Amino acid sequence: MHQLTIADIIRGLRARQFSSTEITRHFLDRIAQLDQRYNSFITVTEEQALRQAQAADKRLAAGDAPAMCGVPIAHKDIFCTSGVRTSCGSKMLDNFVPPYDAAVVENFNRAGSVTLGKTNMDEFAMGSSNETSHYGAVKNPWDTTRVPGGSSGGSAASVAALLAPGATATDTGGSIRQPAALTNTTGVKPTYGRISRWGMVAFASSLDQAGPLARSAEDAALMLSVMAGSDHRDATNLGHASQDFTKGLDKEISGVRIGVPREYFGDGLDNDAAARIEAALREFEKLGAELVDISLPHVHLAVPAYYVIAPAEASANLSRFDGVRYGHRCEEPKDLRDLYMRSRGEGFGEEVQRRILVGTYVLSAGYYDAYYNKAQQVRRLIKQDFVQALERVDVIMGPTSPSPAFPLGAKSADPVAMYLEDTYTIAINLAGLPAMSMPCGLVNGLPVGLQIIGNYLEEARMLNIAHIYQRATDWHLAAAPGLVSDRTGA
């Protein structure tokens, strides 16, 4: 049953081929047997999952259940879950048990979905490899000596290892799309504000956005239909009503104009990965799409702008973790200053401390204009580049990651090299646009992801284009070695 997609599970539940309790038990058993290889879960909620599955079976028997009712999923450990630890992959929140559910979790509970557990992640979503977690690095199911990408590496690995059919995730600078690319999964970062951030622990408030990770565009559309919607509790929420993103998936894409940025195919992109991207673009031409050469002249400034803006916002957001209200508190503080310093020094890992220091520096009185204000001006230029390009084309396509997954520890000592792993994804967060990554081939047995960037609030069109590609190809059905596989390599 673990080979089934979300769409398959929905059909099977309604055809009474199996119950929610049976398939939930199946995934829980797989997690117990296999996750020591991958370390993709921080917390497994077995008792809760079985209770939810039993309740879902009753709703399904009554015949009025929503589409996702009875489908087991996992939640990234950045979403608050009532009565269940929410750690953000950090020692700081190792003992934090929220009294409420995040809006995303509420939506899935309302839909009758089953929560298998909370997935591992880079600490406070800060990382590109899922190696900064207090609970240890996540391993890529395609090669357990390599990274799965971050910060949503636990969610991506759980789906790639067939431990969960889908998982929630968050994307601040590429943290859904990059792990999707490295694990042969499909991940969607929606338009900023499309999904409520209420109850999602903040990293950089103007950049963070929740989204789904699954095996196919169809599955991602099913999850997004549950996740998106209006929420008055989130001041940045766009207020758009929820919609069914599966409608229009099968619409033909003949005549679709695909922008190909020349800046995405220069130095820094692995040659073999570039060949897979180009092959995918040729496949789109066969499907009737038109390739259009475009330019994003300021995109090379995205990484430096992001690593001023994001740490600045992190510095402000993480100031609440001071050892006083909740979270980690040092033993026997001598005074208030000692309480603050030791609680934060002990509770935060090295990468989080680095970003807090950078963020505090760029927000200081003497440097605000030179760094933070200038980065925001660059952000505006980057957004204008995308707006102008999307006036000429329907979507933009290119690589998601510069190369396939790299070995664990290979870039841990070089923060700049690690930051450059997000070079193709960061600009989209700065602009607030929707984007996704989907599988498009293998290089030496490792997955490569194709990135699709859409216009504001055009997730449905973006998913439609991805679905038509996946209907014509089967890269998204390939599974990691030792699991069920339809493709052996490239």
DSSP per position, 164-198: -SEEEEEESSSTTHHHHHHHT-EEEEPPTTSS--T
Distance, in Å, from the CA atom of 471 to the CA atom of 280, rounded to the nearest integer, reads 13
Distance, in Å, from the CA atom of 71 to the CA atom of 162, rounded to the nearest integer, reads 14
**Catalytic annotation on 151?**
yes
What's the distance, Cα to Cα, between the start and end of the chain in Å? 27
DSSP-based three-state secondary structure for 293:
strand
Count the residues in the chain. 490
Which of 196, 16, 202 has the alpha carbon at shortest distance from 93?
202
Interacting residues of 75 by C-beta distance below 8 A, sequence separation 6+: 81, 104, 105, 108, 115, 117, 118, 119, 167, 168
The one catalytic residue in 40, 90, 175, 225 is: 175
Helix orientation angle between 6-14 and 217-227, rounded to the nearest 10 degrees: 70
Specify the amino acid at residue 287.
L
3-state helix, strand, coil in the chain (%, to 5): 40, 15, 45
DSSP per position, 153-171: HHHHHHHHTTS-SEEEEEE
Q: How many CB atoms lie within 10 A of CB 298?
A: 20
The residue whose two tokens read 């008055």 is 232
Distance, in Å, from the CA atom of 210 to the CA atom of 219, rounded to the nearest integer, reads 16
The one catalytic residue in 19, 40, 76, 133 is: 76
The one catalytic residue in 19, 20, 133, 151 is: 151
Helix (H) or strand (E) holding 452: strand 446-453
On the 0-12 / 13-18 / 19+ scale of CB atoms within 10 A, 276 is buried
Interacting residues of 90 by C-beta distance below 8 A, sequence separation 6+: 123, 124, 134, 347, 348, 349, 352
Distance, in Å, from the CA atom of 20 to the CA atom of 59, rounded to the nearest integer, reads 10
What are the structure tokens assigned to 87, written together?
Answer: 């750690």
Distance, in Å, from the CA atom of 164 to the CA atom of 468, rounded to the nearest integer, reads 24
What are the structure tokens assigned to 216, written together?
Answer: 């196919």
CB-based contact 227:210 (threshold 8 Å): yes
**Catalytic annotation on 175?**
yes
The residues annotated as belonging to the active site are: 76, 151, 175
